[in-house]
Amino acid sequence: MLLTLLAYGLATWLFSRSGHFPLLNPVLVATALIILCLWLFDIDYTRYMQGAHYLSLLLGPATVALAVPIAMHGRTIKKRLRPITLALIVSSLVAVCSSVGLAWLMGADRAILIGLSVKAATMPIALELADSLGGVIPLTAAFVFFTGILGATIGPFIFKWMNIQHDDMRGLAMGVTSHVIGTASEFKHSQEAGSYASLGMSLNGIFTAIVIPVLYYLLF
């Protein structure tokens, strides 16, 4: 636990000193530091998790707590509910169909297809879905983590390239595609962006939890 806290504290400091440079995302840097320490000191991952699993237990409550910023912008969100819902459905289906379809064409097995189908959902939801569908939990966790890190890292560059300056638009996009990691990065951009990212992450998690099991039983 101490190693995790120190690594994340150092990563957050580096991220702040760099002016919030996307490639120095705290989660990415902290993960790299932890892996380096485990490798240098020959510490088994199981031994590391004996202490660190207490932090993992806080992931669920932390995700639920994101309802607070959503409530703060509740009136504005209600006025934009129709375009938000449309964007959610389209982006979620595209994320699932593109990754799963490509993997299926390349001959991926069922475990990989299940992991890819839930990768855009936040970690607690994705792991529960994968477990109920017979997926491989470590593989699913890796897909979810990579999706979040990739979105949080390249997302700001895409927003800048496409000249997207509205916090609600960028926040919703980041929350839907990069779940809690992208949401955390958007809170560093602005409170409004973080609130819409929380909304996108929550709605996408619910949508994924409903749609993926239905598609699974229809296809398998």
Question: Contacts for 186-192 with beta carbons within 8 Å, 24 or more apart?
Answer: 187/69, 188/15, 188/20, 189/20, 189/156, 191/69, 191/72, 192/73, 192/167, 192/168
Residue 54 has pLDDT above 90, yes or no: no
Taking residues 6-30, report their average pLDDT. 89
Taking residues 34-43, report their average pLDDT. 92
- Domains in the chain: boundaries: 1-57, 60-219
Q: Given pLDDT bands bounded at 50, 70 and 90, which one contains residue 34?
A: very high
Three-state DSSP at 162 gives coil
| pLDDT of amino acid 220 | 67
Residue 7 has pLDDT above 80, yes or no: yes
Residue 13 has pLDDT above 90, yes or no: yes
pLDDT, tens digit, 9 for 90 and up, residues 171-219: 999 988 888 888 888 888 888 888 899 888 888 888 888 888 888 887 7
Question: Contacts for 133-139 with beta carbons within 8 Å, 24 or more apart?
Answer: 133/212, 133/213, 133/216, 134/110, 135/110, 135/111, 136/111, 139/111, 139/112, 139/115
